[in-house]
A and B are shown apart, each in its own frame.
Chain A
Amino acid sequence: MIGGLFVYNHKGEVLISRVYRDDIGRNAVDAFRVNVIHARQQVRSPVNMIARTSFFHVKRSNIWLCAVSKKNLNAALVFQFLYKMLEVMGSYFGKINEENIKNNFVLIYELLDELLDYGYPQNTDTGVLKTFITQQGVKSQTKEETTKITNQVTGQIAWRREGIKYRRNELFLDVVESVNLLMSPQGQVLSAHVSGRVLMKSYLSGMPECKFGINDKVIVESRRAADSSSAAGATKSGHIAIDDCQFHQCVKLSKFDTEHAISFIPPDGEFELMRYRNTKDISLPFRVIPLVREIGRTKMEVKVVVKSNFKAVTKVEVRIPTPLNTSGVQVICMKGKARYKASDNAIVWKIKRMGGMKEWQLSAEIDLLNATDKAKKWTRPPISMNFEVPFAASGFKVRYLKVFESKLNYSDHDVIKWVRYIGKSGLYETRC
């Protein structure tokens, strides 16, 4: 398992170094700095072997987080852990940067002691960690308190503590989808998929058992098969075919596998209940139609048409890349504002209020410096879009979320529930 964990700043200075295993020497710290951070050529893999020692790294802004091992350990686990650690640190002291890490180095050591034992990841749930690793120093605890903590750290429901009470039982569901598209210049969809997340904020008392229903074809059909008493064939459409979904560890996976039921005891506060992926029948909110013409060696003409395929008003941004040797750009657009941003090598076209079912056009003339053959070739990066629309492009719907708490006297009806759908642009690109 993980033999050591190092954190470096962008210069390669060590900020945190925690060695878990004897086979990792102090020289490992330097080996990574010399061979990866200071490497003359950019390192092209997140896993590197230096002198029979493997280094796994993840970079966040200017900070390098690096795990080291000499064993044949589970690589997926290492990266998953590194990301988890970033998440834990983030929830303790906000942004991951050099200053914050230096300011909190004692805390980080304390966390590392708890997160990993002999290089094996232990409990990494922030909510639970915060019950006994605090920035305020440890208060003296009574015996009951510590037992409660240890039970929770190791317990079956490690993600929720007991005895939570709210005056008002409330829960929020956000269905956030990121819509990804790669379209050919001719308008053929090369690939499109939606990766969705169901984020839940729960403020519920006690140990509530939740049941979550969505309009996935498989789930709905198996439900119907299960209770044949319900009106068969009443609803026919409105179901979507989810390719794959993943759940927070609170969801009982075996129950999902056998009964297609999503049931769980939620952690307190905010968490990601579910992730899903969908590739079929995606309603693409926008279409971009590009037309690029090169006129001689010093001029280019670009026309871009954006169409919206839904009924709502939103803000959109279209980025049209320009060659590196652009000397000047003249843009005309019918709506919104378009500016050439030399630093980004792109024309950025912003439309504050893009109406539904509308179509707008931009045309630009790009002057180019006379490109010598030696100048780097322009590779025509795709035109990309940024947007946020108030619906789920996959057609995902929450059908119900029921809350049961047998010990406390509140029922499903007493819980206030909020549901919201957001469709964001992921990589929404059209080649030109």
Chain B
Amino acid sequence: ASVSESLGNIRPWLQKVTTQAKTTDSKYFTTTRKGEIFELKAELNSERKDKRKEAVKKVIASMTVGKDVSTLFPDVVNCMQADNLELKKLVYLYLMNYAKTQPDKAIMAVNTFVRDCEDPNPLIRALAVRTIGCIRVDEITAYLCDPLRKCLKDEDPYVRKTAAVCVAKLHDIDPLLVEEQGFLDALKELLADSNPMVVANAVAAITEISDSAQTDTAADMLCWSGQLINKLLTALNECTEWGQVFILDAVANYTPTENNEAQNMIERVSPRLAHANAAVVLSAVKVIMKLLEMLDPNSDFVLSTIKKLSAPLVTLLSSEPEIQYVALRNINLIVQKRPDILKQELKVFFVKYNDPIYVKLEKLDILIRLTSAANIANVLAELKEYATEVDVDFVRKAVRAIGRCAIKVESAAERCVSTLLDLIQTKVNYVVQEAIVVIKDIFRKYPNKYESVIGTLCENLDTLDEPEARASMIWIIGEYAERIDNADELLESFLEGFADEQTAVQLQLLTSVVKLFLKRPTDTQELVQQALSLATQEADNPDLRDRGYIYWRLLSTDPAAAKQVVLAEKPLISEETDLLEPNLLDELICHIGSLASVYHKPPAAFVDGRGGGQVAKATKGLPSRLAAEAGGAAAAAAGAGGGDFGAGTGAPGRPAVSVIPTQESLIGDLLDIDMSGGATAAAAMAAASASTNQQPVDLLGEGLDSLLGGPAPSATSPVPPSGASAAAGGSGADSLADIFGGLGGGVGGGLGGGGGFDPPMETWLPAQKGKGLQIEGRFLRRGPQLSMELRLRNNAMQQLNGFAVQFNKNSFGLAPAQPLAMNPLAPQQSVTTLLPLNTKGPVQKMDPLLTLQVAVKNNIDIFYFACLIPMYALFTEEGDMDKRVFLSTWKDIPPENETQFNLGSYAHDADTASTMLRSFNVFTIAKRSVESTDMLYQCVKLTNGILVLAELKIVPQTNAYTLSLKSRHVEIYPGVHEAYLAVLKG
């Protein structure tokens, strides 16, 4: 019977299944299912072949709609021996789904698999090896090795290409097995296979394995060499489109050692730009973008290559909308990195009426990035058109874009403002609000130029219901209070609803009222009083209250100073907004075409790796120009960490980026220093070693001086900490001082907090055992001094005296620093005493590690007890270290030492947590925010010198804390984990 015929019979049945799946009446659902399963069982065991096949198909259909048909496992496996290929495929499909739940029964299938791997038909051999790799059952995996080895050397390319992928599957199940069995070598041999598809699949498998390689040997082995890359580029011509993508993605991971090599690679990759497959094109763009970094930006070759890139990118915009979307997200990155590529192509980013909304929004973003004085007229006309569309988000973005145009192109500012005023006249609520927000920014860019429009803005006060728009309007009123006659009335009307406003609006309102008062003190005294009392007495928000008090004190002590502070001239806002942080941009350029480039997030932010260990390893950076080629050797060395550093230290031909880095991003920069390429690593290591010898503050001072003082660091002088100094290049001294001021402040605060919390006393020796002596105690750390606090209570009927204490050998060599000083203890009396400890005692590893055996002697007897030293008591004050040292230490520790703990969730945010931990000598070395997830990099030094590096990940919405620990001594992890828990629980 033909397949289509038999499928016809299934159809009504499948429909029944799907409609059943929809109902939520589970009772009904189970009862019918029971009958059905029974029926299927009978059919699977039927004598007739066609009936069995039919039944397997039904089983697969049930499986698809989510029914549990695992109970039929033995019956389905029975059908496996069939010589019908189609049936075999279905049975295999079933096996892949259910083998995991029935491992012992899955064994039954092993023989068939092994036999199929030797079948004369290559299609069946391949099918078997393809399936067996998907069955994640340990017992079966063991049987897989021999057939797989044979298949890797099979005479048929179809089998070999399937086996290549199977190695990757096996590696995912058991990486060590793959290494032990030498499959990595076999895979590498396949790279030289005569068949292009085998090569492509081997490349894909190797790329995947090296991304998750467990040991360094494996990683080293799979490292691409120049020779190998050369071979792959040759194979590129003969591969399928998908194979070309695999190869190009692998090539993108390779950094050539010479300029000629880079140039050669670009030449060989660029024909791919004409491929019909968008993935091939984007991957080729990725390779080229990365290699271009290495070459002299002014050379003819680079210029002509850049020219070549634009047409293919534009062409991507005539593909399907989803592919357009991916392309646009990538173009957004490319335009930020190399604005020249597409500057002539403005028009292709004009929005079409029928574009899906996601394409529209992205096009708009790019349109603004490409705007310049030359094309502003066209852009403005377009934006005006967009502002009348229907989609609210799109319209808002268009309005905002008009504001950005005004800020970017000064000559057009006036036209932009008048366009915005036209839009305000439309009275469409969200358009008005958005326009007011951007007009505020325009005021900040061009003060005292467009204030004539304030009147129009004030007409729309009543319609503003969004906090951002209200805050903007209030800011405008405060800033220009002297020109608005009824500014006091306006602010007063806002003040009436003060309590209902959002914090941003409240803060703005407070500031604006103070500004008004300073400008018109005579008639606004009452208003300012009212605002200050609202902020300081009624409000719960600490920020608001603090700001209120600051103003209050300022105004009451020295109004002249207040004027200087509050009405001081402000710096202008920068032209380019919404730029990605340069280091992130560089990383994303290395991920063009991939999901990271779509999300504009580093892969670590959304891929579940093995915790923080991947931070250093997985982060990709752009290669830098080779030192010999660059203009100044010193500049290149300092800039080696990433393309952008070069900009800061004045590499020729590239404008400095004037984005003010935030504290987080700066520290992010420090941690992200990429170690790709020999020169880079050397520079970073030099910086790291330099910093270990000096106080960090000094270092920064030096770096700063050398930057600001004008003369570029000479080649012979020690390399300044490139991350900090270069990032500061654009922003100047103030921001740097701020940043480190902020950091220092945080640390200082932590120190001030001192002892933090003290653990409760534990009963170590109950009175029954101590013949009337009860001992409670705890471990305390006051500054550098570790001590044991003991509370002794005399429950006996006689006086106790002659106290002495002794510790057994313990893991950390704790010993009393002085004898126990105790007066005689009268009956029913209790005394608390502090016993200072040192760590000079004899060391013996205990089990559990933190056990401390104590002997206490008095006039009655000697008593023994054991207590657990809390790990945090052993954290010393020397835990702080420089960021680069941290980074290199982190890398030095083998990745398998890393362990992750889930700490549960806590209410505190990252800064509070950091402060809390600081009081226990857990030093936060750096903080980084990756897409709203806070990462704290922390270090702890134990009394015996063991370093523990930690990465604390805090997801703000859920407040889930994840801790990754890295140390050479894994035994201490449980203790550190406990300590974290104890501290965080407070």
Contact = CB atoms under 8 A, between A and B. Distances in A.
B196 interface: yes
Contacts of A293: none
Contacts of A281: none
Given A14-B66, A246-B274, A75 B326 contact: yes
A237 interface: no
Interface stretch (A39-47, A206-214, A342-350, A353-361): A39-47
Given A45-B325, A150-B123, A72 B165 contact: no
Interface in B9-28: 11, 14-15, 18, 21-22
A248 to B, nearest CB: 6
B628 interface: no
B60 A47 contact: no
Contacts of B390: 376-377, 379
A196 B46 CA distance: 57
Contacts of A71: 595, 607
Nearest to B6: A106
Given A72-B591, A76-B282, A150-B156, A132 B123 contact: yes
Given A14-B65, A75-B597, A257-B274, A153 B158 contact: yes
A80 B165 contact: no
Interface string A112-154: 0100011011111100000010011110010100110111011
Contacts of A82: 322
A73 B201 contact: no
Contacts of A63: none
B274 A256 contact: yes
Contacts of A137: 2-3, 84, 86
Contacts of A143: 120-121
Interface string A379-405: 111100000000000000000000000
Contact of B271 (A80, A256, A376): A256
B270 A257 contact: yes
Contacts of B204: 1, 120
Given A13-B22, A137-B86, A379-B390, A46 B325 contact: yes
Interface residues of B, number: 114
B172 interface: yes
B461 interface: no
A102 B352 contact: no
A373 to B, nearest CB: 9
B35 interface: no
A335 interface: no
Contacts of B312: 244, 246
Interface stretch (B242-250, B500-508, B730-738, B836-844): B242-250
B64 A16 contact: yes
B739 interface: no
Nearest to B607: A72
Interface in A79-96: 79-83
A58 interface: yes
Contact of B240 (A45, A110, A249, A272): A249
B825 interface: no
A105 interface: yes
A46 to B, nearest CB: 4
B238 interface: yes
A275 interface: yes
Contact of B89 (A19, A109, A141): A109
Contact of B249 (A13, A74, A104, A193): A74
B608 A58 contact: no
Given A45-B325, A113-B89, A122 B242 contact: yes
B603 interface: yes
A47 B162 contact: no
Given A54-B606, A254-B237, A254-B271, A146 B130 contact: no
A117 B595 contact: no
A277 B350 CA distance: 17
A182 interface: yes
B903 interface: no
Given A49-B606, A147-B156, A429 B3 contact: no
Interface in B547-600: 591, 593-599
Contact of A249 (B162, B195, B241): B241
B7 A104 contact: yes
A76 B276 contact: no
A128 to B, nearest CB: 10
A224 to B, nearest CB: 21
A236 interface: no
Contact of A102 (B11, B325, B353, B598): B11
Contacts of A239: none
B348 A191 contact: yes
Contacts of A72: 591, 594-596, 603, 606-607
Contact of B275 (A14, A253, A277, A381): A253
B706 interface: no
Interface in A240-292: 243-249, 252-254, 256-257, 272, 275, 277
Contacts of A333: none
B322 A79 contact: yes
Given A54-B606, A121-B242, A246 B130 contact: no
Given A109-B89, A110-B86, A154-B195, A277 B282 contact: no
A155 interface: yes
B908 to A, nearest CB: 24
Interface string A13-33: 111111111110010010000
A299 interface: no
B623 interface: no
B7 A106 contact: yes
A179 to B, nearest CB: 12
A277 B315 contact: yes
Nearest to B320: A83
A118 B8 contact: no
Contact of A243 (B279, B314, B591): B314
B165 A154 contact: no
A272 B275 CA distance: 12
B817 interface: no
A432 B590 CA distance: 44
A52 interface: yes
Contacts of A135: 2-4
Interface of B: 2-4, 7-8, 11, 14-15, 18, 21-22, 57, 60-61, 64-66, 84-86, 89-90, 93, 97, 120-123, 126-127, 130, 133-134, 136, 156-159, 161-162, 165-166, 168-169, 172, 195-198, 201, 204, 208, 237-238, 240-242, 245-246, 249, 268, 270-272, 274-279, 281-283, 311-312, 314-315, 318, 320-323, 325-327, 347-348, 350, 352-354, 357-358, 378, 381-382, 385, 388-390, 393, 428, 591, 593-599, 603, 606-608
**Which 10 residue pairs across A and B have the least CB separation, nearest first?**
A150-B158, A244-B311, A257-B271, A77-B279, A72-B603, A76-B279, A121-B242, A154-B197, A253-B271, A46-B322
23 contacts: A15-B18, A22-B136, A47-B325, A70-B607, A72-B606, A74-B593, A75-B595, A75-B598, A76-B326, A77-B279, A80-B279, A105-B61, A113-B127, A120-B165, A121-B242, A190-B382, A246-B315, A249-B275, A253-B274, A272-B276, A275-B276, A277-B314, A427-B353
Given A72-B591, A74-B595, A246-B274, 13 more contacts: A14-B64, A23-B608, A47-B595, A72-B595, A74-B593, A75-B326, A76-B323, A83-B320, A105-B61, A124-B240, A135-B4, A149-B158, A156-B196
